[in-house]
Amino acid sequence: MSQYEFEGNNEGDWDDSEDLAWNESDWQIFLRNSDKEIARFLAAYNKVKDQDDRLDAAASLMGWHRDDWSSTDEIELEDNDFPIIKSLDIDDLNNIDPYTIHKHPIYISSNALFSYLRASWERLMQENKLNNEPNLIWGYSVSLADAEKHCIIAANSLDLGDFLLAVCHFKNAHSALNESMRMNRLFQHHDQEKLNCYLRETNMRMHDLREIWLRVMSDCRR
């Protein structure tokens, strides 16, 4: 799909430019590549998780700059900057992936950490011989889902330039994750050593999620 929309184009003109349109198969490939980026971040994070600066170390392995987390910088162009912008031909456009929220570092890193939290909790419960309270299980899953929902909306708000709206959603995500952390400590397991390992690994990732959000909120408020 084209990176741009032109008000002067009608549907007929757009349909004639078939080379610019992505079909369903193209988007499926795009989404699979997005999943690979999420897995790549998780692998990078796990590689450096014992470092004090693991978030920055993982970001470096991903090729991100520290400022990429928030993307709050506004680009200002002077009038004499416009002549240097060159048009692209069809072949060049076809080789450019469209930018979507799937490429945002907040989306990638948060998805990776939330994926770990869900998978590790599911594995812990499947291997558990003790029964936990249904309300505890339901409350934990709901709070974790709420935290992820507000985080993704916040990342999208950043892309749209609605920085204070992003702050509000990050605060909601922060509150929901705090509740997840509280409930996470209430689970019981027949294997205390396995439970302790689970709590250590999940608490570390929950704290890092909060650290990412706090960094971005600080940038948004400047």
- 3-state SS, residue 2: coil
pLDDT at 221: 84
Average pLDDT of every residue of the chain: 84
Angle of CA points 66, 206, 117, to nearest 5°: 115
| pLDDT band at residue 2 under the 50/70/90 scheme | very low
**172 neighbors 146 (Cβ within 8 angstroms):** yes
pTM (2 decimals)? 0.79
Residue 96: both structure tokens together: 């450019």
Distance CA 191, CA 99 (A): 46
- Residue 90 parent element (H or E): helix 90-94
Of 3-7, 71-75, 193-197, the poorest mean pLDDT is in 3-7
User: Averaged over 5-26, what is the pLDDT?
Assistant: 56
DSSP, res 107: H
- 3-state SS, residue 77: coil
pLDDT at 60: 94
Distance CA 23, CA 9 (A): 20
pLDDT at 94: 56
Residue-wise pLDDT tens digits, 115-171: 999 999 999 999 999 999 999 999 999 999 999 999 999 999 998 999 999 999 999
